[in-house]
Structure 1
Amino acid sequence: MSKSLFITGTGTDVGKTYVTGLIVKKLREGGASAAYYKAAMSGNDRRADGTLIPGDALQVKRMSGIEQPLEEMCPYIYETAVSPHLAAKLEGKPLEMECVLKHFDYVCGKYEHITAEGSGGILCPLRFDEQQIQQEDFIKARSLSCLMIADAGLGTINAVGLTAEYMKAHKIPVRGIIFNRYDPGNPLHEDNRLMCEAMTGLHIIACVKDGDTDLDMPFELLEGFYEENGGGRK
């Protein structure tokens, strides 16, 4: 049985993909059969042949060194650099939950540890037209637990607190927080760490500094956050 974990962020540009790359790398180096998955990516460049490059997937693949093909990593790839729900409208390729789950289950059938990255923050919609699909719909469909990625700098107390409260209210399990762009000894960053833990009851399980190429936490601790998939897999 494969195990999975969902990575969300407190917003756009907090370094969620970068940290995800370090997570997947730690798993691979620890001997795990590691894979990456993202339901929808927007803001991607085109190859010379006109096909879209799944940029986040490529970054994770290069950082982690996993051999998983890019074609397995994301079923919905958009060029326009906006929220996936709007990119889908503009490009005429709406996301279908059945497709998202089918591709995810395929990856789960091939690899032991699947790290699923969300798009933007937890409230970023995947589809919003005659159908409304939120990221939590995917999370709950496969009974995934989550890690939250947050920028260590100014504003993170509010961003972490609001994200945690939303996820708690919607019964989305959060196993912990990883701070990105962390500067050890910086009074603001140190206080943010203490305050986020105090105000959410969640632990800061790791801190990533600018330029880090490894995740500073034991493999066994990281692996323990991954849980067996559920919620309808056959």
Structure 2
Amino acid sequence: MSKGLFIVGTETDIGKTYVTGLLLKALRDSGQRAAYFKAAMSGNARDADGNLLPGDALWVKTVSGIEQPVREMCPYVYENAYSPHLAAQIEGNPIELHVVKERFAEVSQRYNYVTVEGSGGILCPLRFDDKQILLEDVIRALNLPCLLVADAGLGTINSVVLTAEYMLARKLPVKGMIFNRFHPESVLEQDNLRMCQRLTGLPVLACVKPGDTTLAIDTQTLTELYE
């Protein structure tokens, strides 16, 4: 039976794909059969034949070295770099939650650990027409614990605490935090880590410096995040 973990960013473009790739690399390096999954991916390019290429999935596969085929990684891929709900409205093929669950279940049958990356932040709308699906609905449907990924720089206290409080109020389990783009010499960023831990009660599990190719977290701590 596989175990899973859902990666939630405090906002867009804070490096959750980068951190997810390092998480998968750490699992693979420890000998685990690790897989990646993302319900919806927007802002993707096309190949010479006009096929959409899931950019986040390709990057994660490259950096982590996992053997999982890209076709298994994301059921909904959009070209426009918009929120998935808007990209789907423009391009068609709106998200169906039962499809996401079925595809996730298929991946879970073949791998020991499945890391699921969210789109945008916790309030990202994945569908908003006759049906309304937010990122939190996917977390509940897959029944996974969560890990917060945040930028270590200025403004992170507000975004981390608001995200954590929203998720805890809605009974979405959060295991801890990883900070990206961390500069150890920065007094500001060191204080951000302390303040985020104090205000949320969540542990900082790792910090990722610019250019890091490995994640500074021991195997036992990492695997215990997955349920």
* TM-score of the aligned structures, taking structure 1 as reference length: 0.96
RMSD: 0.5
In structure 1, distance between residues paired with 2:46 and 2:94: 19
2:119 match: 119
Aligned 1:1-234 pairs, distance under 5 A: 1-227=1-227
**1:136 Cα shift?**
1.3
In structure 1, distance between residues paired with 2:102 and 2:141: 11
Per-residue Cα deviation, 1:29-53 (whole angstroms, up to 9, x for no partner): 0011100000000000000000000
Matched letter for residue 7 of structure 1: I
Matched letter for residue 75 of structure 2: P
Per-residue Cα deviation, 1:139-189 (whole angstroms, up to 9, x for no partner): 112210000000000000000000001101111000000000000020000
1:231 match: none
Matched letter for residue 45 of structure 1: A
In structure 2, distance between residues paired with 1:43 and 1:140: 25
- Single out whichever of 129-138 and 9-18 deviates more from structure 2: 129-138
Matched letter for residue 14 of structure 2: V
In structure 2, distance between residues paired with 1:92 and 1:64: 31
Q: Match of 2:205, SS?
A: strand
In structure 1, distance between residues paired with 2:203 and 2:188: 17
Matched letter for residue 49 of structure 1: D
Q: Percent identity?
A: 62
**1:134 Cα shift?**
1.2
Matched letter for residue 50 of structure 1: G
Matched letter for residue 5 of structure 1: L
In structure 1, distance between residues paired with 2:35 and 2:109: 11
For structure 2, the residue ranges without an aligned partner over 5 or more in a row are none
Matched residue pairs, number? 227
Matched letter for residue 91 of structure 1: E
Matched letter for residue 126 of structure 2: L
In structure 2, distance between residues paired with 1:139 and 1:180: 22
Per-residue Cα deviation, 1:97-128 (whole angstroms, up to 9, x for no partner): 11111100000011010000000101101101
In structure 1, distance between residues paired with 2:200 and 2:180: 18
Matched letter for residue 176 of structure 2: G
Q: Match of 1:20, SS?
A: helix
Matched letter for residue 164 of structure 1: A
* TM-score of the aligned structures, taking structure 2 as reference length: 0.99
**1:74 Cα shift?**
0.1
Q: Match of 1:120, SS?
A: coil
Matched letter for residue 136 of structure 1: E
In structure 2, distance between residues paired with 1:126 and 1:30: 33
Aligned structure 1 segments of 4 or more residues deviating by more than 4 angstroms = none
In structure 2, distance between residues paired with 1:220 and 1:64: 19
For structure 1, the residue ranges without an aligned partner over 5 or more in a row are 228-234
